[in-house]
Amino acid sequence: MTPEFSRPQPRPRIPPAGQDITVEATAAECAALAARLRLPAVQRLTCRFHLRPAPNDGVTAEGWLAALVTQTCVVSLDDFDAAISEHFTLYFVAAGTESNDVDPETDDEVPYTNDTIDLGEAATEQLALALDPWPRKPGATLPDAGTAAPAPRPS
């Protein structure tokens, strides 16, 4: 199945000195991503990558993501716009060659198949990771629960 936002890049075409590539989602792709990520809207998504060949047919990718999304506040249930800006590093590896290393200090490994990495899907995954799981509209506050004593329990 092709992802909603797919930008395939053949691994063998990445020059030894590296390559800069920018991917940007279309309006239709943004709408599909909003549905996938269960957001009211993804208004824009752009991601710049600097790709470098790495040992064992790997590719190191340094990325810069910028997005504007609409989220729903967990306090007020109002929709609001949120700007997302993230810097990340990924390591693309051939599927089946992923390491079992769970060191949080190592770059995230992203498997690829058919000698092709998908920069659109990588950008989508980074956006999903960057989203606040408990989005709060600026200025939204929880109602004061008060300091009333709990009601007595019936005997």
Instruction: Quick: pLDDT tens for 102-129.
Output: 767 777 888 899 999 999 999 999 999 9
In terms of Cα–Cα distance, which of 112, 120, 123 is closest to 56?
Answer: 112
| pTM score of the predicted model | 0.85
How does pLDDT run across 7-46, given as a tens digit for each residue? 999 999 999 999 999 999 999 999 999 999 999 999 999 9
Angstrom distance (rounded) from CA 67 to CA 115: 28
Q: How many CB atoms lie within 10 A of CB 83?
A: 10
Instruction: Return the pLDDT at 143.
Output: 74
Tokens of 89: 């590093």
* Residue range 45-53: mean pLDDT, rounded: 97
Q: Helix 119-130 vs helix 27-37: angle between axes, to the nearest 10 degrees?
A: 50
